[in-house]
Amino acid sequence: MSAVVVVGAQWGDEGKGKVIDFLSEQADMVVRHQGGNNAGHTVVVDDKVFKLHLIPSGILYPDTVCVIANGVVVDPATLLDEIAYLRHEGVSTDRLLLSSQAHLVMPYHARLDAVNEDRLGAHKLGTTLRGIGPAYMDKAARVGLRVGDLLHPDYFAARLRSVLEEKNRLFARAYDVPGFEFDEMYERYLAYGEALRPFLANTSVEINRAIGAGDRVLFEGAQGTHLDIDHGTFPFVTSSHPVAGGACIGAGVGPTKITQVYGVVKAYTSRVGDGPFPTELTGPQGDHIRERGSEYGTTTGRPRRVGWLDSAVLRHSARVNGMTGIAVTRLDVLDDLDELRIATGYRYQGAVLEDFPEMLPVLEQVEPLYETLPGWRQSIGQARKLGDLPKAAQAYLARLEDLTGVPIVLVSVGRDRSNTIPLTELF
Ligand code: GDP
Ligand code: IMO
Ligand code: MG
């Protein structure tokens, strides 16, 4: 039995798509269990770039079953576009399963996301404006609509009518923006339901059956630990649970079934959207890493904020995820730096903090404590085993292990599948 959860250990965009794609070669099933099309996962195969938002990165392997489980919020128009895009690229989507229980992202969710960000003004969260927060709000408020509802027209009509009435009142009275018309939305969503019907399944049953049969199941986290609504830098977070425990809830799998948790760690740090980022580099050094690493959002195209590796961020991730291994990505982006810095902890009001602070007012005032390591100043993209890496790069990785207490299981030195160094059996 092998059920491996892969999570982002920082603020998202760590390279989860690349790592999942690499692991998928050995997987029988890959499951997305939280988030929605706020995620953007890039996979490069033989110079061809695939950008995925909802469909698990495992789809690029012909025999892997891919699952969008109950914890994901699904914008059906985006999902159908993604299916069409993959088919156009010659990738089969016949092995895609979609949970009937997954909640729908509706047009009023995106509008609510926008008016809410507007209202916050200078304090905005910098969301992806995909309606993800409002969709999870409706789920928690028990007025959300689910994918499976679309196959029950009368039931769907009654629920949509009720929720739309409330949303339209909110748009008119609180925000003074137009609302939505029932008939057009109802017809359009029923058509989406028909188009998605072939994919619908009781995904918890399918996933548990696969685990029970001894299949290798991979859980593909979206976003990152520090964007988790409980364990992230609240309120600058997303509205789901990117931590490993989220896989259990979001897929209907018990915690006793999970065998490994790998945290994907970018060799430096990036963040897109607003919120605290203690090791952020705002000057020319940050610009240099952003340009060298093409750090622009996969989903929104926004420039990503970048900074040094932060071990307090990673120790927090190791703890809340129960991480058993680290997959380091983008080590090659640091190839031309003379020296590198790693934050070992923070100074706050004269005291040294080793743990990542829980409260925003503290986090906003911490000053990172840095250790400086020599750079390697050579290209490492062709390395295929640890010993091929320059000594300085090996020392950087060893220090990362020391500071987190978690072993590194994989190192990625480029975008392509081939630019990958596995250090152990991964399943
Ligand atoms: P995700 O959201 O965690 O899947 O990450 P994204 O796909 O949004 O962003 C990661 C970017 O880094 C993508 O463009 C990947 O192709 C790229 N990438 C992944 N691993 C590596 C690596 O080791 N080196 C380099 N240079 N790029 C990488
Ligand atoms: P992947 O899976 C990076 C960020 C947004 C914003 C915050 C809330 O590609 O790593 P939301 O639209 O979710 O309500 O926005 O979360 N965010 C991400 N940042 N990578 C992502 O996904 C993200 N998904 C959401 O920028 O700061
Ligand atoms: Mg991304």
Pocket test for ligand 1, best of 292, 330, 333, 389 (most atoms within 8 A of CB): 330
At 312 the pLDDT is 98
Give per-residue pLDDT as tens, 175-198.
Answer: 999 999 999 999 999 999 999 999
Q: Is 238 in the pocket of ligand 2 (CB under 6 A)?
A: yes
All residue ranges of the chain with pLDDT < 50 are none
Rounded Cα gap, residues 336 and 44, in angstroms: 23
User: For residue 315, which amino acid is it?
Assistant: R
The rounded Å distance from CA 325 to ligand 1 centre is 18
Cα-Cα-Cα-Cα torsion 152, 156, 157, 161, nearest 10 degrees, comes to: 170
In contact, 419 and 332? CB cutoff 8 Å: yes
Report the alpha-carbon distance of residue 183 to residue 189 in Å, rounded: 10
| Sign of the dihedral defined by the CA atoms of residues 416, 422, 425, 427, in that order | negative
- pLDDT in the model for residue 298: 81
Protein residue whose Cα sits closest to atom 25 of ligand 2: 38
Nearest ligand to the C-alpha of residue 410? 1
- Does residue 317 line the site of ligand 2, with CB under 6 A? no
Q: What is the pLDDT of residue 135?
A: 98
Residues of the chain with CATH 1.10.300.10: 103-198
CA distance 367 to 388: 35
CATH 3.90.170.10 spans which residues of the chain?
Answer: 2-91+202-422
Q: What class does CATH assign to 103-198?
A: mainly alpha
| Catalytic residue selected from 21, 28, 33, 41 | 41
Neighbours of 386 (CB within 10 A): 14
Q: How far is CA 341 from CA 284, 352, 366, 372, in A?
A: 15, 18, 17, 5
* CATH class of the domain defined by 2-91+202-422: alpha beta
CA-42 nearest atom, ligand 1: 7
Summarize pLDDT for 207-246 with one digit per residue, the tens: 999 999 999 999 999 999 999 999 999 999 999 999 999 9
Question: Is there an atom of ligand 2 within 6 Å of 295 CB?
Answer: no
Task: Report pLDDT for 102.
Answer: 98
415 lines ligand 1 (CB under 6 A): yes
pLDDT score of 50: 96
80 neighbors 119 (Cβ within 8 angstroms): no
The dihedral through the CA atoms of 412, 415, 416, 417 has a sign that is positive
Is 13 a residue of the active site? yes
C-alpha 380 – ligand 3 centre gap (Å): 23
Whose atoms come closest to the Cα of 273: which ligand?
2
Mutate to test the pocket of ligand 1, among 22, 415, 416 (most ligand atoms within 8 A of CB): 415
Measured in Å, residue 129 CA sits from the centre of ligand 1 at 22
Residue 327 CA from chain centroid, whole number = 15
Q: Is 41 a catalytic residue?
A: yes
Atom of ligand 2 minimally distant from the CA of 298 = 9
Beta carbon of 240 within 6 Å of any ligand 1 atom: no
Rounded Cα–Cα distance for residues 30 and 44 (Å): 18
> Beta-carbon neighbour count of residue 191 at 10 Å?
13
